[in-house]
């Protein structure tokens, strides 16, 4: 296959994950499915992924990564494979390995000019208990006290370092809690805000693992994908941040999301049984200042809590109906 300078060929690593499942569809729309390759250590998570070439890939295997990139003439890598906050607390060293070694493997390929561009997601988890928690600024105290947060902060520093010292075009976003209906999240502290919609539609009470007034920054997946594409298509000279950009969508507490569901399903009941994830959530900001992303590449979220609830209830209901008719 001939490599053209103008054609962007992307590899999405973690294509069966929460972000990957949706991002790959958008990249397929923009560049053509033939120019986007899916990779994951797991089998394809959805039928829609069958339009894409699928590679079984372990990101810790550098040789395999190189081989896949060469075989498909990849120019851009989206490295989405990671262990999220709650799971990482249970397996600290494995999480560090998975979250860091994969990043080095990809950054080194960009340093060696094998690929041109890298996207790597960071998180609000880079912040910690000593960070100002309301309207957390782009540049502020970052003393994370979770395994996941430590790995994301280290990753951000390496991204900036590779950009400054080796000219690597790496771009990153500090995602808030992401809420989508296409694939299930796994092992995150913000996942309750996805599960709650499934329980509400099953007409079952929901037991939340965070207490009722834990306020966290959140975002509908549509907005997160939009932000990712906007950042990746911005001219390099506009980007003043090469660690990772703050972006904000909405923020709410479990009590507020429950109330927004009760506007549609008045009988919906919630109770609270905080577990070890409460401590993780308590260390994170309650809202995010994203003015730098707005200034540099025009970021602005479209969805608030009411619209999020409308979309989630509608789409999860459709998904359930489809499953029931199979
Ligand atoms: N959603 C992630 C988590 O809860 C935060 O980046 O781990």
**How much distance in Å is there from the Cα of 81 to the middle of ligand 1?**
13
User: Which of 83, 85, 150 for a ligand 1 pocket mutation test, highest count of atoms within 8 Å of Cβ?
Assistant: 85
C-alpha 61/C-alpha 74 separation (Å) is 17
**How much distance in Å is there from the Cα of 218 to the middle of ligand 1?**
10
- The confidence band for 3, taking pLDDT boundaries of 50, 70 and 90, is very low
CA-based radius of gyration for the chain = 19
Instruction: Report, as residue numbers or ranges, the catalytic residues.
Output: 148
- Cβ–ligand 1 contact at 244 (below 6 Å): no
For ligand 1, atom 2, which residue shows the shortest CA distance? Answer: 188
pLDDT digits (tens, 9 = 90+) for 214-270: 999 999 999 999 999 999 999 999 999 999 999 999 999 999 999 999 999 999 999
**How much distance in Å is there from the Cα of 215 to the middle of ligand 1?**
14
Q: Indicate if the pLDDT at residue 115 is higher than 80.
A: yes
Enumerate residues 6+ apart whose C-beta is below 8 A from 267.
203
pLDDT digits (tens, 9 = 90+) for 272-311: 999 999 999 999 999 999 999 999 999 999 999 999 999 9
CA distances from 41 to 38, 70, 121 (A): 10, 19, 18
User: Which of 82, 83, 123 for a ligand 1 pocket mutation test, highest count of atoms within 8 Å of Cβ?
Assistant: 123
The pLDDT of residue 46 is: 82
Q: Render the burial of 48-87: b for 16+ CB within 10 Å, e for the rest.
A: ebeebebbebebeebebbeebbeebebbbbbbbbbbbbbb
The pLDDT of residue 5 is: 58
The mean per-residue pLDDT over the stretch 103-114 comes to 98
CA distances from 71 to 34, 58, 110, 162 (A): 14, 16, 16, 25
Enumerate residues 6+ apart whose C-beta is below 8 A from 79.
13, 14, 59, 102, 103, 106, 118, 119, 120, 121
For ligand 1, atom 3, which residue shows the shortest CA distance? Answer: 188
User: What pTM does this model have?
Assistant: 0.96
User: Which of 177, 194, 286 for a ligand 1 pocket mutation test, highest count of atoms within 8 Å of Cβ?
Assistant: 177
Which residue is associated with the tokens 């992307």?
10
pLDDT digits (tens, 9 = 90+) for 122-135: 999 999 999 999 99
Average pLDDT taken over every residue of the chain: 96
Query: What domains can be seen in the chain, in order of their start residue?
Result: 10-177+219-246 (3.40.50.720), 181-218+250-283+303-325 (3.90.25)
Q: Indicate if the pLDDT at residue 2 is higher than 70.
A: no
**How much distance in Å is there from the Cα of 189 to the middle of ligand 1?**
5
């Amino acid at each position: 296959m001939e490599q053209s300078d103008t054609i962007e060929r992307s590899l999405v690593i973690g294509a069966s994950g929460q972000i990957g499942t949706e991002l790959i569809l958008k990249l397929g729309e923009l560049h053509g499915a033939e120019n986007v390759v899916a990779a994951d250590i797991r089998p394809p998570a959805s039928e829609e992924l069958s339009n894409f070439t699928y590679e079984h890939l372990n990101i810790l295997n550098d040789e395999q990564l190189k081989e896949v990139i060469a075989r498909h003439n990849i120019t851009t890598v989206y490295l989405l494979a990671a262990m999220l906050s709650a799971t990482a607390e249970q397996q600290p060293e494995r999480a560090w390995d998975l979250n860091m070694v994969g990043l080095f493997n990809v950054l080194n390929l960009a340093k060696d000019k094998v690929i041109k561009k890298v996207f790597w997601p960071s998180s609000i988890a880079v912040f910690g208990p000593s960070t100002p928690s309301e309207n957390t600024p782009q540049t502020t105290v970052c003393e994370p006290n979770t395994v996941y947060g430590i790995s994301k902060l280290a990753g951000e520093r390496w991204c900036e370092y590779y950009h400054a010292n080796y000219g690597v075009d790496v771009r990153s976003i500090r995602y808030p809690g992401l809420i989508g209906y296409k694939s299930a999240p796994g092992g995150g502290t913000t996942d309750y805000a996805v599960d709650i919609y499934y329980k509400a539609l099953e007409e079952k009470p929901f037991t939340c693992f965070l207490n009722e007034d834990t306020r966290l920054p959140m975002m509908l997946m549509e907005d997160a994908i939009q932000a990712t594409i906007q950042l990746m298509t911005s001219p390099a000279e506009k980007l003043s941040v090469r660690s990772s950009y703050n972006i904000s969508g909405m923020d709410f507490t479990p009590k507020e999301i429950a109330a927004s569901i009760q506007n549609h399903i008045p009988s919906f009941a919630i109770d609270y049984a905080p577990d070890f994830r409460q401590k993780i959530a308590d260390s994170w900001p309650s809202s995010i200042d994203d003015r730098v992303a707005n200034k540099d590449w025009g970021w602005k979220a479209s969805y608030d809590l009411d619209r999020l609830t409308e979309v989630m209830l509608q789409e999860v209901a459709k998904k359930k109906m489809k499953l029931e008719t199979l």
